[in-house]
Amino acid sequence: MSTAKLQGVFTPNLVPLDRAGNINEAELRRYVEWLIEKGVSGLYPNGSTGEFTRFSPEERRQIIQIVASQTQGRVPILAGAAEANVRDTLSACEAYAQMGCAAAAICPPYYFKLSQESVAEYFAELARRSPLDIVLYNIPQFANEIGIDTVVRLADYPRIVGIKDSSRDLPRFLNLINRIRPLRPDFSLLIGTEEILMPALVMGADGGTIATSGIVPEVVMKLYRLTREGKLDEARRIQFKLLELINVMLFGAGFPEGFRAAAGLRGFVMGTSRQPLSPKEKCDLGAVRQTLHCILSEHGFVADVPQGSVCGPPFESGDGALSTEQIGKIVAEVIRQMQGNR
């Protein structure tokens, strides 16, 4: 088992595709390298943002292999292993252990509704047989929920080392911290939604899997550091701006299309998603792309400006760091332009 506790900001990796719709290995490697250079704490491939259900099991392993090969142990990898049954999940864990991943993130079985007793037994079976540490992945929007009492029960298994909670329920997460921390100080408690990253950290979370860290890692890592350092007034301002930014990318287009468009604005060739888009969604996506491109170019994230857009001069900084004021301007302008496009 791994000895280092999982903490900090883990980036849910997007997957670039080539013109044929296959995994673009070269671009994925370049994206991984960029994230590491920007200082993210760890990587989280094969998550929801990475559209794992749109890839075959063989492709999911290919994605992990590419990420692990490029990372070379510089940051820990939390590998998504949300297969549909015990056998396939264990097989994925075995493969990812050999690739050097720190742990596997596993959600409960989906499609069939299960009792909490069955959910507990599912993870207990994995914990008894997996060669890789397990992080529980609670996302009740898409899979059976992992109740707090179930998490407490599963904390008895040393192989289960943490939980990633994407329920978007802060009171639930705080109750989870309160129940688990006295039993397992080594247990990693990760929040899966950036909207409540700061309050979760203040109340004892170890970090989170934060989708926007794949687009503006500078912003998210600054929020994390400020909160850890107790500079809460400045952190609070960034948290609210991040809240506005995530809303633009979530609701401006179908998830995760807004993120794929924004990654393109950071200089990555993402290709066309495997999910066909309706004409309306394509139109909405175009508005998101133009708005994000304009504001990111205005503040120095991208060099060129889309034709017909009116943007101010790019922001220049000697050390490349963003101040809270600059972050606020970025997001405020995104919101202003989106409102103007309605």
pLDDT of residue 238: 85
Residue in the structure block whose two tokens are 């912003």: 219
Beta bridge partners of 42: 10
**Phi-psi sector, 46: left (phi>0), alpha (psi -120 to 50), beta:** left
Helix (H) or strand (E) holding 191: strand 188-191
Q: Which two tokens stand for residue 94?
A: 């075995």
> What span, in angstroms and rounded, lies between the C-alpha atoms of 324 and 235?
8
Asked if CATH classification 2.40.110.10 holds for the domain at 8-230, the reply, yes or no, is no
Whole-angstrom CA distances from 269 to 2, 19, 25, 196, 233 are: 34, 10, 11, 30, 37
Separation between Cα atoms, residue 107 and residue 141, nearest integer Å? 11
- Residue found under tokens 């670039």: 16
**pLDDT tens sequence for the chain (342 residues):** 456 899 999 999 999 999 999 999 999 999 999 999 999 999 999 999 889 989 999 999 999 999 999 999 999 999 999 898 999 999 999 999 999 999 999 999 988 999 999 999 999 999 999 999 999 999 999 999 999 999 999 999 999 999 999 999 999 999 999 999 999 999 999 999 989 999 999 999 999 999 999 988 988 999 999 999 999 999 998 888 777 777 777 776 778 888 888 888 788 999 988 888 787 776 666 766 666 666 556 545 556 555 554 444 333 333 445 555 655 555 555 445 444 444
With CA atoms as reference, report the closest residue to 176 among 206, 218, 215: 206
- Classify residue 320 as left (phi > 0), alpha (psi -120 to 50) or beta: left
**So where are the chain's domains?**
8-230, 231-342
pTM: 0.85
CB atoms within 10 A of CB 266: 18
Query: Residue 325 has what pLDDT?
Result: 61
